[in-house]
Amino acid sequence: MKTVDYKVTVYTGDLVGATTLNNVYIKLVGTDGESQRQWLIGLKWPVAFIGGEVSTFTVSCPTSLGKLVLIELDKQRLPIILQDPWFPAKVEVESPGGDIYKFPIYRWITDSEVHHFREGKALRVFEDSNHLGAYSREKELKQRSEDYCWDVYIKGIPHCIKADNPLDLPTEVRFSFTKTTEFAFTASTGLAELNLKGLAASQESWSNIDEIKQVFWVKHTKMSDYVQKHWKEDAFFGYQFLNGVNPMLIRRCSVLPSNFPVTNDMVFPKHQFNLEDEMKNGNIFLCDYKRLDGVETRLINGKKQYLMAPLVLLHKTPNEKLMPIAIQLKQTPTDDNPIFLPTDSEYDWLTAKIFVRSAEFSEHQLNVHLLRTHLLAEVFAVSLLRNIPKVHPLYKLLIPHTRYSLQINYLARKLLISKTGVFTAFAASGGEGMITILRNSLSSMTYRSLCIPEDIADRGLETVPNFYYRDDGLRLWEIIHRFVRGILQQYYKNDIEVQKDSELQKWIGDIFEHGFLSKPGTGIPQRFTTVPELVKFVTMVIFTGSCQHAAVNSGQFDYGGWMPNTPTSLQQPPPTKKGTTNEAMLLKTLPDVNTTAQGMATLWLLSKQSSDFVPLGQYPEEHFTEEIPRQLIKDFQAELKTLSSEIKDRNSILDIPYTYMDPTEVENSVAI
């Protein structure tokens, strides 16, 4: 009898542990019928499914199956071989007529169950007309809603994935073997090297600044060396508000806050400038740490710790430097809360700046880094995994931008902010304080503040010179926006199609509820009504998980490795009047040796690129199989490449190169 032969090519992923020696079975399902479940055995048996291997088989059917809709895959162990996990990357099927059907998989198969994988053409729910396809879509979503459940870690902050240990996470979202090993290795060696020097146990104060250099030399980068040399300089202090790890606090100041009574005589004693005029001219800037006001601090080494909520006034000078001109360390202006000035004694001014930098540590880590990138990325990912099936264009677009985010956040909760976590133990705001700061920060997490064009405009920073976070960030936003628009316009031809996509609407509904706690004041959409609205939101999701996270994550050791530039905690109250500080006081104020060592080791771990890092816009997994989206991906990559060389050219003439948002240095997802 004449048969209809389908050529089936199976690609096993090229990663550690991807190989299976189990027997693999396939069934092809088409619009006109389905094949028998067939054992994929061929010349290469038993090594057809080893990591990186491409193996071809023939599946014969009595009649044509029509258009292929899905495949069913399963694997069964042999009596003498254990059930071993398998990571198939994709399956390609060529019909007798020469049509190629691609089935993206990119997930672990660890059991002997039958798994369905849809053909690669992206389909929205209302066009998924084949009944078998629709059934498989429903089944997938039901399974996902059981695998990915919401949990409340701390009331009043975004919700997270429910998982009691990393093995509770579905295998498809876990760290790779490489990533797991490297992460564990860095975490232990960072401390081990410091432990060897007997520092991690020492509860002593530093006896002089030079002594800190000895610890610092265990780990350092070019930039952290620069910081060590320049940390005391006012121009560098100002520079960090623009291009350090937290470019999110500074804003233009046109009216002084009523609780910050700075006078012209204080800041311009020789009447070089006039404060009112300079505010009018747009040359005065403010950093207000009001979210930290009244935050409870913890004990470290049995000693009370101090965290201020400072106000910092900065002046853009004619030679385009941003210079701090006044610092008030507490929010309420009183006689025992002096306004410190650069004209004060060396140690008064330096101490005031150190209190600002220490407040900066808590503000940056909790609000800017943890809340506004890590926790949000997790919300976007969990909502995607619960509500959007693999065949949906949004899944194909966003899944690479969720890689490792669930597991890194699980680890952050366990190793950093739990009761015994490093942050809890060694930051002034560890414990209760952290919860207060996160809750205070949530109200400022508006949709506008998450979209860099609006954020920069709202903070009045459009024309500030030497602001590379803004320059690179705006370019990246535009490039991502163009890419997202191209892809989504391909699938959503008009607003009605957006409105009737029930899966898409569930995705944003879950984000509004679990990420923004159903607060309409955040401006986060509760549903999508137009294509441009959808495009903008998805742009924000990709930008937040990649560019924004890189901007606030990658420089942590660069700027924090030299402890005096970013102390995790301070252990003396700030001076209540001027003229009472000296070097000895300052050393007593800085964190103890063990706190310094723990802080350094943690920042080192969190700044380190993993060797399976995937840069922005690279998609080693081919979820999109159609021609137009694949071309749009190439265009996106070309634009990123051009931007990267422009950034490199610009950096080559800068004293301090700004590398964090160079597309080759930006990771696709929150993964560290």
Q: Among 439, 433, 477, 481, which Cα is nearest to 455's?
A: 477
- Residue with Cβ nearer Fe ion (553 or 595): 553
Asked whether the bond before 46 is cis by omega within 30 degrees of 0, the reply is yes
Give the Cα separation of 554 and 128 in Å (integer).
42
Residue 303 C-beta: closest distance to Fe ion, Å: 29
Closest separation between CB of residue 456 and Fe ion, Å?
A: 22
CA distance 434 to 371: 11
Contact 90, 594 (CB under 8 A): no
Closer residue to Fe ion in complex, CB, 22/553: 553
- The C-alpha atoms of residue 602 and residue 610 are separated, in whole angstroms, by 15
Nearer to Fe ion, 337 or 373 (CB): 373
Dihedrals φ, ψ of 494, to 5°? -155, 170
Give CA–CA dist 288/370, Å, rounded. 19
Evaluate whether 69 touches 31 at the Cβ level (below 8 Å). Answer: yes
Rounded to a whole number of angstroms, the minimum distance from the CB of residue 412 to Fe ion is: 8
- The alpha carbon of residue 243 and the mean position of all alpha carbons in its chain are separated, in whole angstroms, by 18
- CB of 405 vs Fe ion, minimal distance in Å: 10
CA angle 603, 605, 608 (to 5 degrees): 105
Q: Using only C-alpha atoms, what is the Rg of the chain?
A: 28
Contact indicator for 246, 566 with CB cutoff of 8 Å: no
3-class SS of residue 35? coil
Q: Give the residue among 520, 637, 607, 629 at the shortest CA–CA distance from 186.
A: 607
The residue count of the chain comes to 672
Cα 613 to Cα 106: distance, rounded to the nearest angstrom: 17
Listed in sequence order, the residues at least 6 apart from 658 whose beta carbon sits closer than 8 Å to its beta carbon are 243, 468, 469, 472, 647, 651
Task: Please give the full DSSP string across 253-310, using - where no structure is assigned.
Answer: -SS--TT----HHHH-TT-SS-HHHHHHTT-EEEEE-GGGTT----EETTEE-B----
Q: Which is nearer to Fe ion, 297 or 548 (CB)?
A: 548
Which pairs from 174-181 meet CB under 8 Å and 24+ separation?
Answer: 174/407, 175/404, 175/407, 176/15, 176/16, 176/612, 177/15, 177/16, 177/17, 178/15, 178/16, 178/610, 178/611, 178/612, 179/404, 179/610, 179/612, 179/671
One DSSP character per residue, 172-192 reads GGSPPHHHHHHHHHHHHHHHH
In 3D, which of 398, 647, 417, 644 has the Cα closest to residue 545?
Answer: 398
Could you tell me the two tokens for 127?
């066009």
Residue nearest to Fe ion (CB): 553
Q: Look at residues 92, 94, 74, 84 and name the one whose alpha carbon lies nearest to residue 24.
A: 74
CA torsion sign for 273, 277, 279, 281 is negative
Instruction: Tell the smallest beta-carbon distance from residue 375 to Fe ion (Å).
Output: 11
Tell me how far, at minimum, the Cβ of 369 lies from Fe ion, in Å: 6
Applying CB under 5 A, which residues contact Fe ion?
553
Element (H, E) at 482: helix 468-491
581 and 347 Cβ atoms separated by less than 8 Å: yes
Q: Which is nearer to Fe ion, 68 or 672 (CB)?
A: 672
Nearer to Fe ion, 190 or 629 (CB): 190
